[in-house]
Amino acid sequence: MGEDMYGSFRFDLTVDMQSGLAVAPVLIGLFAIPELLKIIVFRHNQSHKPMQLGDNRVTRDELRRSLKAMLKGSMIGVVMGAIPGIGPSAAAFSSYGEAQRSSKNRENFGKGELEGIAASESANNGCCGSTMIPLLALGVPGDVITGVMLGAFMIHGMTPGPMLFENNLHEVYMLFIGMLFSSVLLFGAGKATMRFFSHISRIPPGLMAPIVLALCVFGIFSISNSMYDVIVLLAMGIFGFFMFLFAIPAAPFLIAFILGPMLEENLRRALALSRGDPSILVSSPITWLFASLAIFVVVVTIRQQLKKAKA
């Protein structure tokens, strides 16, 4: 006798909430809007003197100091980028947190520490290439950008998946070559526009805040032409500002927001396959390996926090 499974919406206060919260308004709301609120609320405590652009050349000592963070960040980005649905945002914040945990200069993180910048950017760059792995091999987009690319492939009559390398091998090689050239062009574009973008710091905060707010609102509205996303953007901005006031980091919240639905979906699928038997979660050596690594990281982090508190 078969068993029927039924689903119901949770926390669906409105019809729009039945589709959940999109990543873009939550991400921009958590990190952009609180900065604007800080400019407005703490405007009397801020200096209006523009920042001076220092030497843009990386010294040998700075490269040596950041090399470990760059290598770890690249590995984190490649691994997390190959997992569908995570994307570069979660990889960048995970790499930043790992660099802060293992750095001797962790008290300088958040103040322009070079190791943090190198860790997050190397993870972001490593993730961009590896998101193509699930797209090309399985036909599953790794993030929002590869989701758009999936639609572009299908418009041109190409179906990403195992048969793509057999039927459209030339197009795949063209894509790889284009990604290599784009990395070189990106470096040149950054070098050429670095000094130009530094003049943004000369814009008065009272003028900068409304301009950035308008760009955020119009950008979020243009994604799906929905005022619901704009409301989510503003609500998450206020929520992120209160997190800042209570010294609660926003990065773990964002990572949990991205990975939480994936965890719940796969947990539900595993329990459905095992007919409710939770032993399936520890039925293979791979699950034991990842569970051991997770426990190890949590225990090491707690020990470091306890040592820090005693000191």
Tokens 């790889």 identify what position? 176
pLDDT of residue 233: 92
Dihedral sign, Cα of residue 60, residue 62, residue 64, residue 70: negative
267 shares a domain with 301: no
Compute φ and ψ for 250, nearest 5 degrees.
-85, -25
* Structural domain total, the chain: 2
**Parent domain of 222:** 23-45+59-273
- Give the Cα separation of 296 and 290 in Å (integer): 10
252 shares a domain with 142: yes
Q: Does any domain span residue 10?
A: no
pLDDT of residue 54: 57
- Give the Cα separation of 239 and 33 in Å (integer): 10
235 shares a domain with 261: yes
Task: Give the helix, strand, coil percentages of the chain, each rounded to 5.
Answer: 75, 0, 25
Q: Which two tokens stand for residue 166?
A: 């057999």
Q: What is the pLDDT tens value at each position of the chain, 311 positions in all?
A: 445 556 677 777 777 777 778 878 888 888 889 988 888 887 766 555 555 555 566 777 777 777 888 888 888 888 887 776 666 777 888 888 888 777 777 777 776 677 888 888 888 888 877 888 877 887 776 666 776 677 677 767 777 777 788 888 888 888 888 888 887 888 788 778 877 777 777 778 778 888 889 999 998 998 888 899 999 999 999 999 999 888 887 777 877 787 777 788 888 888 888 888 888 888 888 888 878 877 887 787 788 678 767 76
Q: Does any domain span residue 54?
A: no
206 shares a domain with 298: no
- Give the Cα separation of 297 and 311 in Å (integer): 21
118 shares a domain with 238: yes
71 shares a domain with 168: yes
What's the predicted TM-score (pTM) here?
Answer: 0.58
287 shares a domain with 244: no
262 shares a domain with 171: yes
- Give the Cα separation of 222 and 93 in Å (integer): 26
- Give the Cα separation of 7 and 125 in Å (integer): 39
